Structure formats: C-alpha cells, structure tokens
Amino acid sequence: METRYKTFTGLMTRLMRSIRRIKADEMADFQLKGPHVSCLYYLYDEGDMTAATLCEKCGEDKAALSRALETLGEGGYIRRGETRYKNLISLTEKGRGICEEIARRIDSVVAEAGAGLSEDERAAMYRALGTICQNLEAVCERKREEA
C-alpha cells in the first residue's frame, strides 16, 4: 500500500510540476503567466461564462482566478459585464487571436505527452483517473461532513 501511495503521489506531483512549467514557459511569450492559460482556453473552447463557472472549470481558487481575470482584463484579452459578479466574461478580438496560438500549442504538447499510448490505453487512463478523482472528492466531502 505504501508503494502505491508513493508511486501515485510522486507521479501526480511530477505531472503537475511539468504542467505548471510548460504553462509558464508558453505564456512568457505573451507576457502572461501560467494561470492565465486555463482562463483563456476555457473561454475560447466553451464560450462566455461567469467567473464562478470559469473558476470551477479551471480548478483555481477564487482569489487566484480573480487576479488572473484582472490581469487579462487590463491586457485587453477579456471583457466583463458591467459588474464583476454573475456577469459573463468573454474574449475580446485580441483574446481570441492569442487563444488560437495557445490552442495550437496545447494541441502540440498534448500530442507529445501522449506519444506511445494507443487510443485504448489513453481511454483507460482517463477512466481510471476519473474514478480516482471521484473517489478522492468523496473522501474530502466525507471528511468535511465529519468535521
């Protein structure tokens, strides 16, 4: 059991470290930071959404997302409704333009990261990770209820 824990947590930590490093490196070309990738990507891929929805999709905490949105707004990449809360956030033309390049880079990195995996292996990996994620979220919820 201890070996499974070490292997799983070690691999997850290495994955997240690599993802953060790649995001930071890729966004440096645009004078933005890694956390901005998810915000821009989800707005580009799924369209306008509220900050709460974007926060959920990005997996960022509210404070980090708020800072990211502030930077993206100041840079002219996004626009918000008249008030910041419960209004839709959308990409500007400048934001859409940068997102096309970001999406291209994401596709390239994802293809490179998945090299050597068959479609069946990839599907099995995503199913397994989805199950592990749901199980860990259930553990967190149970612990919250017990507290």
Distance CA 43, CA 96 (A): 9
Specify the pLDDT at position 83.
66
Residue that is written with structure tokens 């017990």 in the block: 146
Distance CA 128, CA 126 (A): 5
Give the chain's end-to-end CA distance (angstroms, integer).
Answer: 26
Which two three-digit tokens encode residue 117? Answer: 């995996």
**Residues 62/70, Cβ–Cβ less than 8 Å:** no
Residues 82-137: pLDDT tens digits? 765 678 999 999 999 999 999 999 999 999 999 999 999 999 999 999 999 999 99
| % of the chain surpassing 90 pLDDT | 71
The answer on pLDDT for 67 being more than 80 is: yes
The answer on pLDDT for 75 being more than 90 is: yes
- What's the pTM value of the predicted model, to 2 decimals? 0.79
Mean pLDDT of the chain: 91
Specify the pLDDT at position 84.
58
**Average pLDDT of 36-64?**
91
Look at residues 25, 88, 85, 34 and name the one whose alpha carbon lies nearest to residue 59: 34
